[in-house]
Amino acid sequence: MAAPAIAQYSESELAAEARAGLVRAGQKELPSKYLYDEIGSALFEVISVLPEYGLTRADERLMRRHAGDIVACLAGPVRVAELGSGSGRKTRWLLEAFSLRRPTTYCPIEISPTALARCESDLGQIERVSIVGFEQPYLDGLRAAASGRDAQDRMLVLFLGSTIGNFDRDAAERFLTEVRSILVPGDALLLGTDLEKPLPQLLKAYDDSLGVTAAFNLNILARMNRELGADFDLAAFRHEARYNSVFRRVEMHLSSTRNQTVAIPGAGCAVSFVEGETIWTESSHKYRAEDISGMAVRNGFRRSAQWLDSEWPFAESLLIAR
C-alpha cells in the first residue's frame, strides 16, 4: 500500500471499471486507484503514522540517514525526477544534500495539480535547487523531464515508498523496462521496496487495531454510493487482509457478510454476492533484498548500492542504467 496523490477520475471511468470488475465471472475486483479520493487519501495519511504500519517511517529514515551517501554515488551534474512526488516531503533531505554540492534541478512528476503545487511551494525554498514540475503520468512526465536535461546532466529517477509493490510482478518489470528506455547509460533509479517480514507483523500493517485501514478500504464502496448512486450497505461488508504466499503479496479484500444484491445505477448494473464472496481492492507485493539485483539486470540496470532499514524491513536500492 503506497498512496498516490488524489487523482480526479470521471464518473464514467469509475462506472466502466466498476462494471467490468464486479459483473464478470470469478473474482470480483475494483482498481486500487479508486481508494484514493479525498477521504481515502486522508485516511491513508492516518494509516502512515499508525504504529502497525512502519513502511512510511522506514522510507523516511533511509532517505534522511543516507541522503549524503546517495549523492556521493553520483558524479557530475544530476537532474532529479521523482515519479509520484506527492508533497516531496521525503525528497527534501536528498535535495539539500545535492544543493551542498552544486545547483540542482528537481522535476516532480505528479498527476494531482494540488499535490504538485504543494511540492513546488514546500521545496522551492531550498537554496540552489530549481523546480520544474510536470503534471503528467509517470512515463510521460519522465520523458518530458529527460528531454529538458543539459548535455552533461545525469538523470536520477526517484520511485520511492514501495509504489512498485502495487504492480503485479510482471507489470513491475515491464514498468522498469519502460523507465530504462527513457534513460541513457549512467543514469540512475532510486527504487524503494518493502521487504518480506514475519506474517503477523505484515498482516497487522494492513488490518490495524483502530480499524483505520478497514475504513480506508470500505470507503471505495462509499465512493460508489456517492458518485454512482449505488446502495452498498457498508455494514454488510468486512475488511480482510490476506497474505498470498505464492505471489508474496498482501491482498486487501472486502468480504460480503450475507447473500445480497447491490444496485449501481451509475454503472448500469446490479451485482449479486453470496456470503463470503469478496471484492479484491489492492495488492502490495513484498520483495527480498536480494531480489533487486536480478530485477535490475533483467531490465537494463545494475544495482550499485542498497540501504536497508533495520526497524522495519525496507530497502532503497540505487540502480544504474547499463
> How confident is the model over 204-237, as pLDDT tens digits?
999 999 999 999 999 999 999 999 999 999 999 9
Place of cell 522535476: 107
CA separation for the pair 256, 235 (Å, rounded) = 9
- Domain locations in the chain as residue ranges: 55-196+293-321
Q: Which fold has domain 55-196+293-321?
A: Rossmann fold (3.40.50)
**Does 86 score more than 90 pLDDT?**
no
Confidence category of residue 8, pLDDT binned at 50, 70, 90: low
Nearest to 167 by CA among 202, 193, 203, 142: 193
Confidence category of residue 7, pLDDT binned at 50, 70, 90: low
Q: What is the DSSP letter of 164?
A: G
**Does 274 score more than 90 pLDDT?**
yes
Q: What is the DSSP letter of 229?
A: -
Model pLDDT, residue 2: 56
CB 296 within 8 A of CB 303: yes
**Model confidence pLDDT, tens digit, residues 16-53:** 999 999 999 999 999 999 998 889 988 998 999 999 99
Contacts of 138 (CB under 8 A, 6+ apart): 83, 84, 109
Nearest to 112 by CA among 187, 212, 8: 8
**Does 71 score more than 80 pLDDT?**
yes
**Does 163 score more than 60 pLDDT?**
yes
Residue 275, SS3? coil
Q: List the beta bridge partners of residue 278.
A: 255
Place of cell 545494475: 302
Residue 159, SS3? strand
Confidence category of residue 165, pLDDT binned at 50, 70, 90: very high
Confidence category of residue 139, pLDDT binned at 50, 70, 90: very high
Model pLDDT, residue 245: 96
**Does 115 score more than 90 pLDDT?**
no
**Does 6 score more than 70 pLDDT?**
no
CA separation for the pair 189, 206 (Å, rounded) = 28
Burial, 155: exposed, middle or buried (Cβ in 10 Å; 0-12, 13-18, 19+)? buried
User: For the chain, give me the number of helices (H) and strands (E)?
Assistant: 10, 13
Confidence category of residue 1, pLDDT binned at 50, 70, 90: low
42-46, 111-115, 147-151, 277-281 — which is least confidently predicted?
111-115
**Grid cell listed for 137:** 503520468
**Grid cell listed for 213:** 485501514
CA separation for the pair 158, 141 (Å, rounded) = 13
Model pLDDT, residue 320: 98
CA separation for the pair 183, 172 (Å, rounded) = 17
Compute the mean pLDDT over every residue in the chain, rounded to the nearest whole number. Answer: 95
Q: Region 2-21: what's the mean pLDDT? A: 77
Q: What is the dihedral of CA 16, 38, 60, 69, to 10 degrees?
A: 60
Q: Region 192-212: what's the mean pLDDT? A: 97
Residue 157, SS3? strand
Model pLDDT, residue 243: 97
Longest dimension (CA), the chain: 64
Q: What is the dihedral of CA 218, 208, 4, 131, to 10 degrees?
A: 150
Residue 168, SS3? coil
Residue 318, SS3? strand
